[in-house]
Amino acid sequence: MTRKPNFPMPHECSIIRVTYGETEYGGESQTRQTISKGIKCFVQNAKIDEISRYQKREIDVETKIYFLDEPDLKEGDFVYITKNNKGLSYVGQTFEFMSIDDATAGHGIAWKGMFSRETNPVQPVTGT
């Protein structure tokens, strides 16, 4: 059994899945449903080389989020930050999922998701 290291995960998030339907008038409707809550994570700005690598494939990313377990993320999903213990406050921020990779060279210890920001910039944590 692989033991998980004690990586700092100062944030918590929920995963939101969008489902599409049709209105009674034939238009498109969207419903957002929370599929997972209380997932520990670590939000960081993406590095320039990471952003450039994705831009070559015409994908805009600006944020990376680390997870200790592989999250159930699919194209079109969103991550909503619900808790912040220290550093910049990402609480209330929503990020659109772009891709996920094993961040530990195939060992499955931590996962790194790449995201684009859907909501406003982060604010410093006050009073902590």
Residue 29 lies in a domain: yes
Residue 93 lies in a domain: yes
pLDDT band, residue 4 (cuts 50/70/90)? low
pTM value?
Answer: 0.82
Residue 45 lies in a domain: yes
Residue 128 lies in a domain: no
Q: Which of 38-42, 49-53, 87-91 has the lowest mean pLDDT?
A: 87-91
pLDDT above 60: residue 121: no
Residue 6 lies in a domain: no
Task: Tell me how many domains the chain contains.
Answer: 1
Residue-level pLDDT at 40? 94
- Domain with 17 in it: what CATH number? 2.40.10.270
| Average pLDDT value over all residues in the chain | 86
Residue 2 lies in a domain: no
State the Cα torsion 32-28-21-74 to the nearest 10°: -50
The identity of residue 69, as a single letter, is D
Mean pLDDT (whole number) for 79-100: 89
Give the residue numbers spanning the domain of 55: 11-119
Nearest to 119 by CA among 31, 13, 48: 13
